[in-house]
Structures are given as structure tokens and as C-alpha cells.
């Protein structure tokens, strides 16, 4: 038998057969996540070229991207609540089905308005957050950060495979065939969900009359969502996640412009650089984070990631060419990966197991918020103060957050005391 924490402070016995079943489900989840990221990067090789053919300029393409950020910002918390109420299989099925519709609408888009319509399903397209929810449910708290980091490894695999496959299909067969290919691939992901993912992945334990989920089953109840911020330690960590993540989020959304205008990269060179990003992320997520979480506390790793992010911002201020920028990529991807994994792990441990889906939905909405405000803020900084201003803002903000975390009183958890 294996004793596993259920998020409520007690332990639940897991039989060896059930442990094997959980391991199998987690492996299938990793496969589904890798496939979903692959289809999304296939889409990235279609939308810009199709938008250009339909007469979109840079401004309107920016509006299109902002629409995605707003849609996922609204849908993230609701989707997380949906997963907690209706279970993992229903949530993943909804996300994969929405992806199929997304690609079908992209394949039949013949007018500019159709490109906006095809973005509507992104409200429900949260396969990666749903995968995080399943992994969170099925892993022990002390191993959660390592298990979540493996999803980042899947992201790197999908980014490399999707970029390569999408470029090849688009060049050989055109945008519409590539979109249809993505629809078929998303249908395969949906079939994997229906075949292998159990109805619910929550650890079953006795419930009391005080459980929030018994009080209200509505997925649109904002009180049930925002009440999670009242749990001890959630609001400060969530605030740190937003503030410290904003500068790096601005750089990410502005990178395509920086690569084109500042570094003067050709499409082929930009593809090589993206592959470099993916390889670095795979190494860090698959081989580094697990070892770090086994040796150091999560609060120490959170402080380390923010300190490294501040130094990366300072280095970006001094970077004048692609080689210098490539040197900063390794610490940049390290800080981003550790920061995202550790904050997600801390936040899910701070709430009951029945609410981890909603919590991860809120975490996903942070990324959507950054993608929504990032283009506006980043564009203003880039046009008025140059690319170095983005790195300078990252240095100042992360240095301030790092000092705040060092100076605030910290109560050790029972795990850290042990």
C-alpha cells in the first residue's frame, strides 16, 4: 500500500493495482498534452499566413490575438470550476472537442470575420490546465512539482514537433489542409480522453456539510471561485505570480517583433531559435526541476527563480545581438519554468483537493491576462524606449519582489520542518 495525501491534511491508502492505474493515466495525460501543444503550434504556422491572405494588417492581427487572451482570461476560472464539479473526463473532453471545432472553423475561413469567429472556441480550449488538474489529483504533494514540470517537457516536445510539422504541411499542402490535419489530430486526442481518462480523478474521502462543493454546484458562481483567495497564503502567492510574471510575459508576447525588427532574423533563423527554446525547456523541465524540488523547499526555489529573472532582465538590457541573447535564454527559461511550476504547486497545496481544478484555472487566467495586456504595454515600451526598456522593467520589478519575499516573515510548513 502507498499512503497519499488528499489535500485535506489526512492520508488515503492506495492499493498497488490502483497505483499502477494512476501511473498509466498520468502517462496518457502527458501524451495528450504533447499532442495538444503539437496541434497548437501547427495552428501557429497557419493563422498568420491566412490572415495576411484575407487582408489583415499588423493592427488587426493584434486585435485577433487580444481576443484570444480575453476569451481564455474569462474561460480559465470557469473551466477550472467545471473540472472540479463534473470531473476530469468531462473537462478534457470539452477542451479537446473545442479544439476540433477551432480547427474546423479555421479550415473553412474565407472571410476576415471568420478568423474572429474561429477564435470563439478558445474559451473552452484549456487542455494543458486540465492536464495539470489530473496530474495534481493523482500525485503526492511532495512529488507534485516534479510531476507538473514533466508537462513542461511535453510542451517542449510539442513546440518542436508542431513547428516542424506545421511548416512542412503549410508549405506542401496549404493552410486549409494543415487546419484539417489539426482537426483530425485533435479528434485523436479526444478519443484518447474518452478511452483512458476516468470520470473523476479526485481522491474520494468523507465530506462534511461545510464542503463548498456541496453548497453550490454552479460553475458560474464567482463567489465559489474567488473564495479560494481567502485561504492562508493564497492571495500573497497569487499576487507574486501576477506581478513577477508580468515583465517576462511582456517580453514573450513581444518576442516576434523583437526578432524581426531588432535582431533582423529571417523566418528560417527564427525557427531555429524557437527550436533552441524548446530544447532548453525540455532539458530544464525534464531533468532539472525534479532534482531541485527533491533537495530544496518550494519557497527557496521561488526566491531563486525571481532572483534569476531579475538578473536575466539586467542581461537583456546589455544584449545587442543574437548570440548575447542566446546566452540569456538558458537562465531565462530556467527562471520561467521554475517560477510557473513552483507557484502552481504552492497554490494547489494551499486549497482543498476538491478545489485544485478551480485554482489551476485561476493560474491559467494569469497567463491569459499577461497575453491580454502584454501587447499594449510592450508595444508602448518598445516604441518609446527601445527593447532594452523591457529588460530594465523586468530587472526592477523582480528585484523588488525578491526583496519583498526575503523581508516578509515566513512560517514553515510541517513538510519544511521535517
Domain boundaries, the chain: 2-202+225-409
Q: What angle do CA 119, 125, 126 make, to 5 degrees?
A: 145
Count the alpha carbons within 13 Å of 266 in the hemisphere toward its beta carbon.
2
pLDDT of residue 214: 39
Residue 220 is given by DSSP the state: T
Fold of the domain built from segment(s) 2-202+225-409:
Growth Hormone; Chain: A; (1.20.1250)
pLDDT at 392: 92
Burial of 138 (0-12, 13-18, 19+ CB in 10 A): buried
Question: Do 125 and 102 touch, CB atoms closer than 8 A?
Answer: yes
3-class SS of residue 12: strand
| H or E element at residue 50 | helix 47-53
pLDDT score recorded for residue 32: 94
Alpha-carbon gap, residue 153 to 193, rounded angstroms = 20
Per-position pLDDT tens, the chain of length 418: 334 444 444 444 545 456 667 788 889 999 999 999 999 888 887 887 788 788 877 667 767 777 887 888 888 888 888 888 888 889 999 999 999 999 999 999 888 898 899 889 989 998 988 888 888 888 887 788 888 888 878 888 888 888 788 878 888 888 889 999 999 999 999 999 999 988 887 765 444 443 444 345 566 667 767 788 888 888 888 899 989 888 888 887 777 677 767 777 765 676 677 778 878 888 888 778 888 888 888 889 999 999 999 999 999 888 888 888 888 889 998 998 899 889 988 888 888 877 887 888 888 888 777 777 777 788 788 778 888 888 899 999 999 999 988 887 655 554 445 5
Task: Give pLDDT, residue 249.
Answer: 81
Q: Where are the beta strands (DSSP E) in 323-409?
A: none
> What's CA 126's distance to the chain center, in Å?
9
- 3-class SS of residue 14: strand
Phi-psi region of 9 (alpha: psi -120 to 50; beta: other; left: phi over 0): left
Q: In Å, how far from its chain's centre is CA 45?
A: 20
The residue count of the chain comes to: 418
Q: CA 263, CA 272: separation in Å to the nearest integer?
A: 14
Q: How far is CA 359 from CA 84, 134, 142, in A?
A: 10, 13, 18
Q: Is 207 exposed, middle or buried (0-12, 13-18, 19+ CB in 10 A)?
A: exposed
How many CB atoms neighbour CB 338 within 10 A?
Answer: 27
Amino acid at each position: 500500500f502507498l499512503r497519499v495525501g488528499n489535500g485535506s491534511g489526512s492520508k488515503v491508502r492506495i492499493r498497488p493495482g490502483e497505483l499502477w492505474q494512476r501511473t498509466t493515466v498520468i502517462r496518457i495525460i502527458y501524451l495528450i498534452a504533447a499532442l495538444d501543444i503539437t496541434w497548437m503550434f501547427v495552428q501557429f504556422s497557419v493563422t498568420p499566413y491566412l490572415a495576411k491572405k484575407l487582408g489583415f494588417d499588423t493592427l488587426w492581427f493584434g486585435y485577433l490575438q487580444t481576443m484570444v487572451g480575453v476569451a481564455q482570461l474569462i474561460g480559465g476560472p470557469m473551466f477550472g470550476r467545471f473540472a472540479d464539479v463534473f470531473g476530469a473526463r468531462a473537462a478534457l473532453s470539452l477542451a479537446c472537442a473545442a479544439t476540433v471545432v477551432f480547427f474546423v472553423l479555421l479550415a473553412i475561413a474565407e472571410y476576415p470575420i471568420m478568423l474572429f469567429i474561429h477564435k470563439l472556441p478558445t474559451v473552452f480550449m484549456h487542455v494543458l490546465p486540465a492536464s495539470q488538474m489530473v496530474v495534481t489529483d493523482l500525485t503526492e504533494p511532495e512529488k507534485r512539482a516534479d510531476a507538473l514540470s514533466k508537462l513542461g517537457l511535453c510542451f517542449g516536445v510539442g513546440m518542436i514537433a508542431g513547428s516542424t510539422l506545421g511548416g512542412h504541411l503549410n508549405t506542401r499542402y496549404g493552410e486549409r489542409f494543415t487546419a484539417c490535419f489539426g482537426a483530425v489530430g485533435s479528434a485523436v486526442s479526444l478519443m484518447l480522453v474518452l478511452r483512458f481518462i476516468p470520470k473523476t480523478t479526485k481522491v474520494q474521502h468523507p465530506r462534511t456539510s461545510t464542503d463548498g462543493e456541496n453548497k453550490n454546484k454552479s460553475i458560474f458562481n464567482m463567489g465559489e471561485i474567488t473564495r479560494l483567495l481567502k485561504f492562508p497564503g493564497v492571495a500573497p502567492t497569487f499576487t507574486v505570480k501576477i506581478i513577477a510574471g508580468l515583465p517576462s510575459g511582456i517580453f514573450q508576447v513581444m518576442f516576434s517583433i523583437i526578432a524581426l525588427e531588432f535582431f533582423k532574423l529571417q523566418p528560417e533563423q527564427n525557427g531555429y531559435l524557437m527550436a533552441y527554446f524548446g530544447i532548453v525547456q525540455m532539458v530544464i523541465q525534464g531533468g532539472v526541476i525534479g532534482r531541485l524540488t527533491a533537495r530544496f523547499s518550494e519557497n527557496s526555489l521561488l526566491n531563486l527563480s525571481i532572483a534569476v529573472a531579475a538578473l536575466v532582465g539586467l542581461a537583456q538590457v546589455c544584449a545587442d545581438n543574437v548570440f548575447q541573447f542566446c546566452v540569456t535564454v538558458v537562465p531565462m527559461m530556467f527562471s520561467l519554468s521554475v517560477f510557473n511550476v513552483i507557484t502552481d504547486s504552492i497554490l494547489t497545496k494551499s486549497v482543498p483537493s476538491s478545489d485544485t481544478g478551480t485554482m489551476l484555472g485561476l493560474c491559467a487566467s494569469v497567463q491569459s491576462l499577461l497575453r491580454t495586456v502584454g501587447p499594449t504595454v510592450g508595444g508602448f515600451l518598445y516604441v518609446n524606449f527601445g527593447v532594452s526598456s523591457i529588460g530594465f522593467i523586468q530587472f526592477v520589478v523582480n528585484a523588488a519582489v525578491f526583496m519583498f519575499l526575503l523581508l516578509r516573515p515566513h512560517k514553515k510548513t510541517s513538510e519544511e520542518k521535517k
